[in-house]
Structure 1
């Protein structure tokens, strides 16, 4: 009898791991502490709840690394990608979803699968036997984090991450704001109008930065230090790096024309992205913050168009747990000191919903293959999934290891085209063409291939 694979955590990685096991004919047991034990960031007891952005980022699978990761996951039968496609929202070239509909559909699919069991319980220590995948994500409970610390000898597991506010659409002043995706990206009119834009003059921008820098912030407890992931910096940390940092980052005004004042280019723009299918909620793009809640309301209402903004959720700061994977994991995501334990998702040092799901999918396929008595090979580094795996299991320097999004810098270089260097667009297309061929071949011969094809 094939022993089950136990998975700790019902987030993006845990769900994909369980689904991959079930597709390979191996029973999976998800141990999820919510809703019995909640976190400050989660609102529901649903699986794969999106607590920060509602976007899976670019869906361009020909010239974008995360879009390529979407393609690979879809080709491997990803549950997350299937449900994201079903609950897609207009977002230009990005894959954004109705977060509540998405997580509810994922939960329903998992509960309905005959080979997946969901246990609502907290695992407080690393198990000693069996076959386990630890996919607890950035909000790993304190007790389990301490158990991981003891088992790995790691001195530091935590850095800090921040989430962005969500605004009620009917509280946005559309006599000041307008709907437009940057550079009018999108194939449909809805996609080209997927974002709401709030324009700021130079004087308004300078006043906003002053208010932002002066606002009271969340303080760290004694002994804690902040080591933010650069891709998710709080806006006030960005502002501290220079007064123009924001307008060259999340508040950049390029690719947009204000129809209320078509001959005046805004000095900066705040973008809000649709957050649910009804179009009643909008996420402040790139506005992760550690400001205190009262200060957030006061400061954000200085933004033109948001003077009377009503917030469905304010921003916040939280502990993000990850292990030093290059020093601890082997090439099949197993803890070297305890190979019955695999780690997957953000706890391994990949950053983002898609990356977490991809590592969960891979961990599930590898664990299921081992449970069936196979000797699985990891995907080649020419693929997006394989490039991420190679990075966290030895490609990165363990001494300076920090969370990383998928990007073409993680891929083996391409052979140069005859006649000189490739242009950037051609180079990116070269990466994706090569990756798709390699991924297709790996799926055909990889772990659980015969069973998954049934």
Structure 2
């Protein structure tokens, strides 16, 4: 049996898994079907290509669970976080990334690593032996998806992911739009002005909702029994839940003051976030959509400041598959029926770029340890990464298992802390302090080796 580690899929999880295993001294082969086989959402053949968004969400590692996950990955020499930091864009308290240079650098660093080989081509069957990680993400090929479903004995669970549109900056009317992060978050002026804001009056908002509900939309016969992941709901689905839903969600007007008309309070606000370092592209925050292309241009040009908007990319929707991991995977992320195969990334039932890369980090380290004759225990459930892996491999109820972002609700409680809104800041700080100490202890169990 070869001591090489084979990884199917070169997205966030596969890239991070390859990096971690190679840094630990294991030879790695990444099998990536692109560019030979394309997908609905990808534009290039690069590894770790960002598709749905360019945001890694909050970077606060004391009051936010995903920010804590950022911190843990940085402490673990994570390639995805290193590269994200190198290509960071102003985004208030969030970590937003210049997506093309980001994926180009991840690709270059993996291709240059002496222990990593990248092979283009599709693998559509489950391997019979060796050491494997399947990290194919939400767009697993039909052949491999069928093989996984046959092995697990059930049709793969599914939901839909939607993608938000991207606008050219020079087509935005800055006489209407102003730059400001909500509540002026950010330490620098650039961070405090990282978002563009499009204000709406009540009449404009009501007309926008009417148009949104009436627009032609893409429907899927296969999706009649599939749902949406709540963190990536199409805006028209939110609007169908109530006319005020968007105004209390991605279009909430709080924490913002119109620089052009400071005395006027907007009824609703559409935010745009810079999508590249040049500042030539902006994505419409929270505006994932399943509207047909023609309808998108008509409806989105109703937004004040976007009347003449030119779109670099329109929104879209795609099917996402994931395992019932509490039933199928052990705490080493191995398929119980074929323990030489591990799974990592969104296919395990985590949601988000960072969570996907985190599961790749764990799978890569665990696989490397096994190849080297060791067993690396999963991280403590009090850490962000441990809370996630505990949830997907046994902490969640199998019958109702759905994709999950990292959040403090997955962490064991800290004894002796007051509950309620007033005690939340102290409680979250206690969670993160405890996690950081335990994460350092866990990292000491698996020291990485200098790359040969």
Tell me if both proteins adopt one fold, taking TM over 0.5 as the criterion.
Answer: yes
Structure 2 unmatched ranges of 5 or more: none
Q: Offset of 1:261 from its aligned partner?
A: 1.0
5+ residue gaps, structure 1, are: none
Does residue 14 of structure 1 match 2:7?
A: no
Report the counterpart of residue 338 of structure 2 in structure 1: 338
Contact 1:2 1:26 in 2 (8 A): no
2:210 is the alignment partner of 1:210: yes
Distance 1:185 1:87 in 2: 20
The verdict on how the C-alpha distance between 1:422 and 1:339 changes in structure 2, with shifts beyond 3 A counting, is farther
Residues 154-197 of structure 1 show CA distances to partners (whole Å, capped at 9, x for unaligned) of 22332111000000000000100100000000011111000000
Matching of residues 246-261 of structure 1 within 5 Å: 246-261=246-261
Structure 2 CA distance for aligned equivalents of residues 128 and 256 of structure 1: 57
Asked if the contact 1:238/1:245 (under 8 Å) is kept, the reply is yes
SS in 1 for 2:373: coil
Change in Cα spacing, 1:423 to 1:223, as seen in structure 2 (3 Å) is closer
Q: Which residue in 1 is equivalent to 2:432? A: 432
Contact 2:22 2:451 in 1 (8 A): no
**RMSD value, Cα:** 1.6
Deviation at 1:226, TM superposition (A): 3.3
Q: What secondary structure is seen at the aligned counterpart in 1 of 2:242?
A: coil
1:189 paired residue number:
189
Distance, in Å, in 2 between the alignment partners of 1:99 and 1:68 is 22
Cα pair distance change 1:85/1:222, threshold 3 Å: closer
Shift of 1:126: 1.1
SS in 1 for 2:44: coil
8 Å CA contact 1:149–1:157 kept in 2: the answer is no
Maintained 8 Å contact 2:418/2:427: no
2:352 maps to which residue?
Answer: 352
* CA displacement at 1:224 relative to structure 2: 4.4
Q: Tell me the TM-score normalized by structure 1.
A: 0.97
Deviation (angstroms), 1:421: 10
User: For 1:231, what is the secondary structure of its paired residue?
Assistant: helix
Task: Give the match for residue 93 of structure 2.
Answer: 93
* 1:23-49, Cα deviation, whole Å (9 max, x unpaired): 100011100000110011001110000
1:61 maps to: 61
> How far apart, CA to CA, are the structure 1 residues paired with 2:53 and 2:419?
43
The one-character-per-residue Cα deviations of 1:341-394 (angstroms, maximum 9, x if unpaired) are 100000000000000000000000000000000021110000000000000001
After TM superposition, which residue ranges in structure 1, 4 or more long, deviate above 3 angstroms? Answer: 222-226, 417-422, 450-454
Query: What is the CA–CA distance in structure 2 between the aligned matches of 1:35 and 1:386, rounded to whole Å?
Result: 34
Distance 2:420 2:80 in 1: 40
Task: Determine helix, strand or coil for the equivalent of 1:118.
Answer: strand
Matches of 1:413 and 1:7 in 2, distance apart? 36
Spell out the pairing of 1:260-279 with structure 2 (5 A cutoff): 260-279=260-279
Deviations 1:276-304, CA, capped at 9 Å, x for gaps:
01000001000000000000000000010
Contact 2:180 2:193 in 1 (8 A): yes
Within 2, Cα distance between the matches of 1:28 and 1:143? Answer: 23
1:298 equivalent to 2:298? Answer yes
Are the equivalent residues in 2 in contact too, given 1:218–1:290 (CA < 8 A)? yes
The CA distance in 2 between the partners of 1:226 and 1:340, in whole Å, is 30
What is the SS of the residue equivalent to 2:283? strand
Cα distance in 2 for residues equivalent to 1:59 and 1:419: 24
Sort the Cα spacing of 1:64 and 1:222 in 2 relative to 1 into closer, same or farther, 3 A: closer
Number of aligned residues: 452
> 1:2 touches 1:371 (CA, 8 Å); kept in 2?
no
Output the CA distance in 2 between the equivalents of 1:367 and 1:222: 35
Distance in 2, matches of 1:316 and 1:121, equals 26
Provide the rounded CA distance (Å) in 2 between the counterparts of 1:222 and 1:284: 28
Q: Partner residue of 1:82?
A: 82
Contact 2:115 2:451 in 1 (8 A): no
Q: Is the 8 A contact 1:50 1:103 kept in 2?
A: yes
